[in-house]
Structure 1
Amino acid sequence: MYRYNSRSRIFSSGRISDKFESALTSIKRTVENETEDYILNVNETEYVNHLTEQYSMGVPEIMFEDVYADSYEEDIPSEYFPMSFHVYEGKKYKKEVIQFIIPVEGDADLLSNCPASSISLGGGGNFHIKGNTIVAEFINFHNDPKKIKQDFDSEVRGVHRNYETLSNDIISFNNSLASNTKSFLTQRKQKLLAKNDLMSSLGVPLKKKSNISETFSVPQPRFKEKLSIKPSVLEKGFNPEPTLDDNNYRHILKLINDVGKNFERMPSVYKGKEEEDLRDHILMTLDPNFELGSASGETFNKSGKTDIQLRYDSSVIFIAECKFWSGEKGYLKTISQLLNYLTWRDTKASVVMFVRQKDFTSILEKVGNSTKEHENYLGFIDKSDENWYNYRFHINGDKNRELKLAIQLYHLPK
């Protein structure tokens, strides 16, 4: 093996864990250096995604199957020669050097790092990094191609062992990056909110100060049955706004889903019903199961022909729009109609679609494909059921004012 400076060899110039720590330190510093207005108003998910994308590390792919060979002549120092050669100390002699070159896709420099779990630096593979390739070189002393190939294969086995471990280290770091970034953001935001005594966005009771404007959150509901490119910020300051607890939001959606499933189980009872009639059935289930723990709050009520609203004082904090499926265009229009009602940060909503078409599966596929085309779409969260999708949207005109939107579909007879 023709050995180069150890700093250019793969798996030899420091642990990858040091690079991870450096990245996390940079993220924390970035969050700490943001202005108060920015931290309190930015869309948390979009900001976390921005930093995660910026600091995630792509696993460099070593293209083992694309290896190729080359050769050149080099003046080789006498100390490299086997004892059987008659050479003089301090002299150099011209010999052929065989190169095995393996292309790398991605950041080849990451391969210079030792895996986090490796006991010692190096440890297999005397390849060195050259541009976007890794290269192993062997001096051709004996014109023995079989021996050179055996030496090369031995080096490759060493590379495989460390490369697999290093790749897993990088993947693990990337998988934890969003949660670590979220933690830095949450810590900074909590400090700012505590400083200003604006605790409503954390869903805990207000501790009032005489010099701070009143801040509130929707009180914890009590159920009669025991049953979480860098975004820009348009706002200045931070205004406390009412929010609906995520657990209560999920419970409301589950009640809607239970009613919708009942529509499907008893088709003869609901056959021929119109949107407003079906809405009233949902409302009759929600209203007795849910009440706010505050005399000043209102419970569920009708607004217009097809929507259900939960209001706090004069603010809409939950809305469900009930419509029959009329195609993708009508579906996206329903979302737009619902968004027009909403102005508050962290509002929750649901679009309840009644489907009379026979091929219900194809309608579900259309929802999955077309929702992302809406101009206010931010991202997909998850599916709570085969017919129940959860998304992130933003209100009109401001991506930082995010709302959670559930799409719930039910198959009804004509």
Structure 2
Amino acid sequence: MKIYAEDRLDNLLGSKRHELKQRIESETEDYILNVGEEQYVEYLKSEFTLDIPEIHTDKVYADTYEREIHASRFPGEFMITNPNQSFKKDIIVYHIPYSGSIDLLKFRPSSWTTMAGYEIQIDRSSRTIVLEYVNFYNDPEKIKRSYDDSVRYIFGSYQALKSDIEGYNNSLEGFIRSTLNSRRQQIAQKSDFLSSLGVPIKKKGNTSQTFAVPQPKLKQKIQVRPVVHSKGFKPEPTLDNDNYFKILKIINDVGKNFERLPSVYSGKYEEHLRDHILLTLDPNFEFGSASGETFNKTGKTDIQLRYDSSVVFVAECKFWTGEKGFLSTIDQLLGYLTWRDSKTSVVIFVSNKNFTSVLDTSKEAIKNHPNYISEKAASDNNWTNYRFSLPDDPNKEIQMALQMFHLP
């Protein structure tokens, strides 16, 4: 294999982005509108991320074997009378282990040296770069210098190649989200246009394939395309992330105030503490209203924010009663939710003296919940954010904040 000689890496990266864009554009409208964004983004990232080749010179090993070497390959200082003769010589073999996609070494990065085109052997069964040297002089220093020269050629443009691939990989998520959002906006605009015609619209009969296992690309790992169960899509009001975190910030501020004034709030019931939160939330948001103990799907919730007839935020307030009760609270909250509700919070009041221990227990326990997907960045030492799925629709993702306050 000749390194840094096949094509410009920029061309490969451009073709990968084009392929990724075509993948998103080839999905049906129903699939794009109903698929969970986080799952779909992670699926595409995993498939289109390039596996950077790592060359492990710290794990190199060598062996030797004998081979017939033709006279024409001997250095000039060797006086060989018969130019057609061959001689048995020792071959010193260096094996340099590698990981990742070694074929990426074929491409020229944005900055490359004049060593492009240097030939190396690849043993894919042992995942090593193989460098062979004929032992003409029986001089280990000469062999070592030849090996060092080869390593220098291999690494001549390696850092630039690695930097270019890392830049592509790091930009993937933003590119995917931008392309996905653009596609969704196009679909929404078309839907609005068709609706404005004032006549019934007949949908096409073809539906998207809801499950597929793509062929492995550069990484030898099979990724599963997210499943979409919903057949149709109707736009519903949603709470944007900025307002969602403003709501959570208000709840957090009120909870911290509970902690600062234990003589006022200690001993209160959940309903009393909830009412204090509601009294602060309601005047802060003009787009909706805050209410307590209102019905949503199958039960009562402690806090809801509504826009018109749609619920856009749901929170559940409970006292800590242990790990089992905590997980039951999450079950209770998830049981209230419909597919329209995607922004939630579990507010836990802790009367235990060892608040830190309860925090640690909750963070471990929540990962054992069957609908847990992943943890996101924490907003405070008592406030962590998570991704969950709905019990009846694993494709539908919700955001859930866990906010805990110490009220001994």
* TM-score for both structures, normalised by structure 1: 0.83
Q: Which amino acid aligns with 1:249?
A: Y
Aligned pairs for 1:9-24 within 5 A: 9-24=2-17
1:352 positional shift: 0.7
CA distance in 2, matches of 1:409, 1:13: 57
1:253 positional shift: 1.0
Counterpart residue number, 1:408: 403
Identify the range of structure 1 (270-279 vs 56-65) with the bigger mean alpha-carbon deviation. 56-65
Aligned pairs for 1:225-236 within 5 A: 229-236=224-231
Q: Over residues 166-224 of structure 1, what are the superposed CA-to-partner deviations in whole Å (9 max), with x where a residue is unaligned?
A: 3333322222112112222222222211111289xxxxxxx9553489xxxxxxxxxxx
Question: Contact 1:348–1:403 at 8 Å: present in 2 too?
Answer: yes
Counterpart residue number, 1:302: 292
Q: Over residues 67-90 of structure 1, what are the superposed CA-to-partner deviations in whole Å (9 max), with x where a residue is unaligned?
A: 222223334454433221234797
1:84 aligns with 2:74: no
1:35 aligns with 2:28: yes
Divergent runs of 4+, >6 A = none
Change (3 A) 1:92 1:44: farther
| Secondary structure of 1:129 counterpart | strand
1:104 aligns with 2:101: no
Q: Which amino acid aligns with 1:234?
A: H
1:145 positional shift: 1.2
1:147 positional shift: 1.2
Q: Over residues 118-177 of structure 1, what are the superposed CA-to-partner deviations in whole Å (9 max), with x where a residue is unaligned?
A: 255628x75432221101111222111111112212322343443333333332222211
CA distance in 1, matches of 2:138, 2:353: 75
Counterpart residue number, 1:170: 165
Aligned pairs for 1:2-401 within 5 A: 8-87=1-80, 91=84, 93-94=86-87, 95-120=89-114, 122=116, 127-131=120-124, 132-197=127-192, 210-211=198-199, 229-292=224-287, 299-303=289-293, 307-345=302-340, 347-401=342-396
Identify the range of structure 1 (319-328 vs 190-199) with the bigger mean alpha-carbon deviation. 190-199
Q: Over residues 17-53 of structure 1, what are the superposed CA-to-partner deviations in whole Å (9 max), with x where a residue is unaligned?
A: 3332232222122112111111111111111111111
| Secondary structure of 1:399 counterpart | strand
CA distance in 1, matches of 2:184, 2:27: 11
Question: Contact 1:66–1:102 at 8 Å: present in 2 too?
Answer: yes
| Secondary structure of 1:188 counterpart | helix
| Secondary structure of 1:375 counterpart | coil
Identify the range of structure 1 (327-336 vs 93-102) with the bigger mean alpha-carbon deviation. 93-102
1:342 positional shift: 1.3
| Secondary structure of 2:313 counterpart | strand
1:290 positional shift: 2.0
In structure 1, list runs of 5 or more residues that go unmatched: 1-7, 200-206, 214-228, 293-297
| Secondary structure of 2:385 counterpart | strand
Change (3 A) 1:346 1:127: farther
CA distance in 2, matches of 1:260, 1:316: 23
Alignment root-mean-square deviation, CA: 2.6
Q: Which amino acid aligns with 1:362?
A: S
Q: Which amino acid aligns with 1:113?
A: F
| Secondary structure of 1:171 counterpart | helix
Change (3 A) 1:89 1:170: farther
| Secondary structure of 1:115 counterpart | coil
| Secondary structure of 1:281 counterpart | helix
CA distance in 2, matches of 1:104, 1:370: 39
Question: Contact 2:374–2:388 at 8 Å: present in 1 too?
Answer: yes
CA distance in 1, matches of 2:263, 2:81: 102
Q: Over residues 92-117 of structure 1, what are the superposed CA-to-partner deviations in whole Å (9 max), with x where a residue is unaligned?
A: 63333221111223333333333343
* TM-score for both structures, normalised by structure 2: 0.84
1:300 positional shift: 0.6
Question: Contact 1:323–1:353 at 8 Å: present in 2 too?
Answer: yes
Change (3 A) 1:121 1:179: farther
1:321 positional shift: 0.8
Question: Contact 1:393–1:403 at 8 Å: present in 2 too?
Answer: yes
Question: Contact 1:307–1:322 at 8 Å: present in 2 too?
Answer: yes
Question: Contact 1:345–1:402 at 8 Å: present in 2 too?
Answer: no
Counterpart residue number, 2:219: none
Question: Contact 2:314–2:343 at 8 Å: present in 1 too?
Answer: yes
Counterpart residue number, 2:297: none
- Aligned-pair identity in percent equals 49
CA distance in 1, matches of 2:18, 2:176: 10
1:285 positional shift: 0.8
